Structure 1
Amino acid sequence: MSQRALVNVLGEKVHYQEIPSSLFDAYFSTQQQEVVPACVVLPGSAQDVSQAIKVITQHECIFAVKSGGHAMFTGASNAPEGITIDLRNLNSLQISDDRKITAIGSGNRWLNVYDYLDPFNVTVVGGRDVDVGVGGFLLGGGISFISRRHGWGLDNVYNYELVLANGSISIIHRASNPDLYWALRGGGKNFGIVTRFDMFTHVDTEMWGGVNILLLDDMHDRLAILGIPRKFEWTTTALIGKTAEYINKLICKVGYCISVDDVASMLGEIALEAENDIFAHAWAVPIFFSSSQTYLISAEMNHGKGVEGAPGFGALHRAKKVYKTNRVARTADFAREITTLNTGGRCSYETATFKLDADLQKDIMHIYIEETEKIRHLKHLLSSIPMQIITKAEIAHFLKNGSNCLGLDPGDGPLLLLETAMLWTDPKDDATVLQTSKNILDRSIALAKERGLHHPFLYQNYAGKRQDVFGSYGEKNLARLRKIRDEYDPDHVFTRLSPGYFNV
């Protein structure tokens, strides 16, 4: 009945009898692609979204909202047997006459945004992967290449065009709706459907940087020290591993490798130096590939003034790399490059935050290796733990425009933001891989708590389904978010009827 009601008001914008498979191809994870909703709505305007919400609330329908579809877990932005509102056609872009504000439809991906702004020589605090959708990125946080200078994406939204639970359409601004404006800056999908973001623009200067690949030089000895040496067997996995080990040793002999200890020290050095250089942005990703039985480090460096070898990069820049793409280019070029490295499949993300400590980072690496070794036999497995620094200067931007709801204070920094990111292909391996991710994270958190180095913050855009994102914002902020939710959505439409993503 709800499908017919939607068709009555939205016509051909509703697909429910034969839903084209192409509507699911854009989801990043296979788990989301596999979801079968009762119908898909493709609104072309805020008014269409309003009509859809009115029908959904009238018929008490389960629904989900998709901007780019980059959330990993089942049901996050595709509603099983429910209604999926796909915002892809809300893709308008309009820069103001003075080029200070750009109105961005929430169905855009960052590729569209960057390409549109390029002729104006300006940019916005957007995604580092051009395939990521605008909506989820900005509502959950939004870490960018230029966040050290300008804050996260959510700190750079001037207005929100928002469809509320009663179907009304409002422009939310700090001056007119300070509480709701605050809540939308990190509060996710709990207050309505944002159909447009008006964002501050910034001059798009050329950056120096790129992808840098380094090998780990001490894995054989490291595995032995950890009590998990690889025993040779006449299996494909063992043969590949032994071959990779010999090749790795040859490469390391000519100086193209670093140790686990070096990685931990580099992150600490970057954090300290970056406080004095807001143009320096870097992160490191330890990665294991089961196809080659190899661990490596993928590191990204970017400098907003185009400076090669800036102090903010320290030993990471000086280390020899087996592969690097460092050059001078614009923001969009670097974001395109990151997209080529992020392939979809069966995926899992989870996250944790810690106070910066080199010994803790080294021990987290050990935990990661120990747990990954247990599943290294799985085919087409990629196991990684992206590590990035949230600096004090970065957090200081959270205070502008009335602050956001994340619960971070500049005094908390610098912080280590850890992510467990898993990629695999066989659904039979789902439980095994998810348990490994959980083990890595839970063991790391337990160790950090023992040392007084754990921070409760969970970054929404990296969080797993089991994680309490809004509880991590602190009791005071959670209570305020719920009070604002009760005021603007008294029937809890966006929590009760939209259960697939994080609820306050």
Structure 2
Amino acid sequence: MLLLTPKRLASLLLTASTAVVNADTCDEVEALGTIEVSRPLNPTYITEQAQYWSTSCSALKPTCILFPRSASQVSQILTHLSTTNEPFAIKSGGHNPNNYFSSVSGGPLISTQHLSHAYLDPTTGILDAGPGNRLDGIAAKLQGTGWTFVGGRIGNTGVGGLVLGGGLSYMSAQYGWAASNVLAYELVFANGTIANVTATSHADLFKALRGGLNNFGIVTNYRLQARRQGDVWGGNLVFPLRSDDTDKKLLAAVRDFTEYNTDDKAAVIVTAERANLNLVDSWILFLFYDGGTPPEGTFKNFTDIGPLLDTCRTRTYADLMASSNWAVVKASVVDIATETIPLPSRANKAKVMDALHAHWRNVSSTALGLDVPGIVASIAWQPFPRRIAQQAKRLGPDLIDADDEVDRIIIEMNYSFLPQSQYERMADTVQATYEGVRKSVLGWQADGTLPQAYLPLFANYGFYRQDYFGRLRPENRALARRVAQEVDPNGLFRTRTGGWRP
């Protein structure tokens, strides 16, 4: 795994070619007079820096923030960057909490905020959308058209990072990943060249962009196939006081839903939340149905457990997206990690599900006992039925390349806390959480408790210490590496901005 850590970044800059001009991109772009450049202490700089989900990213200070409004302006920025040795970053919504993935210190930040167009053909449903859109914003723009974007589940999420990481949607069992619905990418390469990337014009690059993250250029437009949609039904079920009995019932319910639900319009996320001093120890479920009313019994396994609060109702998709932003923890450092597990059999569901949840409770209990203020720990159990893989394959190749031989569950593990000084210490807690899950899964696969299966990591939830590309199929990792070297032979994106590298 090649990860551009701050230490590695510093080393690369120190050994950069002496032929590189000692220039400053902020000054050069500002001299053009056509691209907005915001410096520290400027209100637009301060506002943009505050838009990250994690305060650890906000604390990294770019030398300036550049706000291009077109692919040609992005091209100009990259042309200037190629003459310097500065680190840089590209930011869509700032929802990736890993430091340096969409944040930077000591170099320019390219914000896609003004690339927030959304042009819909109301007849075909073809949508041209910029990476500066957020899910709630694009849902509001499409409200009333009868079409929707197959995006994520939290409204504040940026479109750019979501789609490049794959993008899990409430509608994935119908339409695959968010990336599965991309028809073309307008991409600015490291040398400033602009291309329209499709499955026919650049077959390997098109595949690599579906799950390949920020390794190939800057996407300035996604041409998407929107999907027909009217009212939806959704909201939350809240179990404010968890118990061992509630834990077992909800874990069994999400496992059974993953295997037995046959209605592709229905989706759930089952989350447990804990906080310091036991102020919170609860379950919050997200329920969704792509229609005004779900058929009777669709979510019976969950509702029969007896939530204290049920906010589910018929509403617009835009309203659902706008109402989801309460889930974003404000003014905290945020860490997110993930694991993918094969669905346990009905006979082994209690053994597997209960043990993995107990592991999370044990590690999170240790974390809650640390002298780290403001800790909130959560785990989300998210069905990954084989139908998602079937739909993704139907809509074209991607790097994730999941097969439809088994059902799976994607586990998301979050910790948020207040002091930025505890970033590395809490990173160890995050690592202990996901490594414990992985170790258990491998042990159960060895003894036959769980089936053998390809288990890729879901990039949008990945932690910087995890090996995203190492968990892909070797041939797909090799394709991504080859394509990255072809389109960026000088390694602008590989060596000067953060993220996972193939």
Cα-Cα RMSD: 1.8
Specify the alignment match of 1:69 in structure 2. Answer: 94
Q: Is the 8 A contact 2:139 2:321 kept in 1?
A: no
Distance in 1 (alpha carbons) for counterparts of 2:438 and 2:296:
33
Q: Cα distance 1:455–1:380, how it changes in 2: closer, same or farther (>3 A)?
A: farther
Is the alpha carbon distance of 1:95 and 1:464 closer, same or farther for their aligned partners in structure 2, counting shifts above 3 Å? Answer: same
Runs of 4+ that moved beyond 6 A: none
- 1:321 maps to what in 2? 307
**Contact map agreement 1:291 1:380 (CA 8 A) in 2:** no
How many Å apart are 1:278 and its aligned residue? 0.6
Instruction: Give a deviation string over 1:251-273, Cα, whole Å, max 9, x none.
Output: xxxxxxx4322122111111122
| 1:486 aligned partner, one-letter code | Q
2:363 alignment partner AA: E
SS in 1 for 2:150: coil
The Cα shift of 1:217 comes to 5.0
Match of 2:501 among 486, 500, 503: 503
CA contact (8 A) 1:100 1:201 kept: yes
> What is the match of residue 142 of structure 1?
167
CA distance in 1, matches of 2:255, 2:352: 11
1:420 corresponds in structure 2 to: 413
| 1:406 pairs with one of 400, 410, 422 | 400
- Which residue of the other structure, out of 278, 290, 293, is the alignment partner of 2:264? 278
Q: Deviations over 1:23-44 (max 9, x none)?
A: 2111111011101112211111
Which SS does the other structure have where 2:253 is aligned? helix
Alignment of 1:491 onto 2:490: yes
Residues 452-491 of structure 1 aligned to structure 2 (within 5 Å) = 452=445, 453=450, 455-491=454-490
CA distance in 1, matches of 2:234, 2:82: 49
SS state of the match for residue 259, structure 2?
helix
Cα distance per residue 1:223-278 (max 9 Å; x no partner): xxxxxxxxxxxxxxxxxxxxxxxxxxxxxxxxxxx43221221111111222x111
Instruction: Determine the C-alpha separation between the residues in 1 that align with 2:485 and 2:205.
Output: 11
Out of 286, 289, 312, which is 2:275 matched to? 289
How far 1:99 moved relative to its partner?
4.0
Partner of 1:450: 443
Which residue identity does 1:105 align to in structure 2?
Answer: G
- TM-score (structure 2 length as normaliser): 0.88
Q: Which amino acid aligns with 1:112?
A: G
Q: Conserved in 1, the CA contact under 8 Å of 2:56 and 2:420? A: no
- Aligned counterparts of 2:75 and 2:222: Cα–Cα separation in 1: 17
Q: Report the TM-score, using the length of structure 1 for normalisation.
A: 0.88
* Match among 262, 268, 274 for residue 255 of structure 2: 268
Shift of 1:216: 5.3
1:182 to 207, 211, 221: 207
Aligned partner of residue 374 in structure 1, secondary structure: helix
What is the identity, as a one-letter code, of the residue corresponding to 1:111? Answer: D
1:8 corresponds to: 31
Given residue 265 of structure 1, which amino acid in structure 2 is its aligned partner? A
Q: 1:336 aligns with which of 311, 322, 326?
A: 322
Opposite residue 137 of structure 1, the aligned amino acid is L
- Residue pair 1:353, 1:455 contacting (<8 A) in 2 also: no
Between 1:85-94 and 1:198-207, the stretch displaced more is 198-207
Quote the offset at 1:399 in angstroms.
1.1
Comparing 162-171 with 310-319, which one deviates more in the overlay? 310-319
1:201 corresponds in structure 2 to 226
Counterpart mapping for 1:115-154 below 5 A: 115-154=140-179
CA contact (8 A) 2:35 2:66 kept: no
- Aligned partners of 2:361, 2:395: CA distance in 1, in Å? 42
Give the partner amino acid of 1:270.
Answer: F
Shift of 1:96: 1.6
Q: Which one of the candidate residues 110, 125, 146 is aligned to 1:85?
A: 110
Greater mean deviation of Cα atoms: 209-218 or 442-451: 209-218
Call closer, same or farther: CA 1:17–1:316 in 2, change over 3 Å.
Answer: closer
Counterpart of 1:469 in structure 2: which amino acid? Y
Conservation of the 8 A alpha-carbon contact between 2:35 and 2:73: no
CA deviations 1:434-485 (Å, max 9, x no partner) are 2222212111111111001475311110001111111111211000111111
Q: Aligned to 1:451, what secondary structure does the other structure show?
A: helix
Structure 1 gaps of 5+ residues are 220-257
Return the alpha-carbon distance in structure 1 between the equivalents of residues 241 and 277 of structure 2. 17
Q: Which of 354, 358, 365 lines up with 2:341 in the alignment?
A: 354
- 8 Å contact from structure 2 (residues 53, 328) kept in 1: no
Q: Is the 8 A contact 2:86 2:106 kept in 1?
A: no
Cα distance, 1:367 vs structure 2: 0.6
Residues 10/190 of structure 1: CA separation in 2 closer, same or farther (3 Å cut): farther
Contact persistence 1:351–1:419 (CA under 8 A): yes
For these two proteins, the number of residue pairs brought into alignment is: 463
| CA contact 1:291–1:381 (8 Å) conserved in 2 | no
Q: For 1:211 and 1:401, how far apart are their aligned partners in 2?
A: 31
| Structure-1 separation of matches of 2:357 and 2:122 | 50
Q: Residue 392 of structure 1 corresponds to which residue in structure 2?
A: 386
Q: In the aligned structure 1, how far is the partner of 2:35 from the partner of 2:220?
A: 20
Deviation, 1:369, is: 1.1
Letter in 1 for 2:390: A
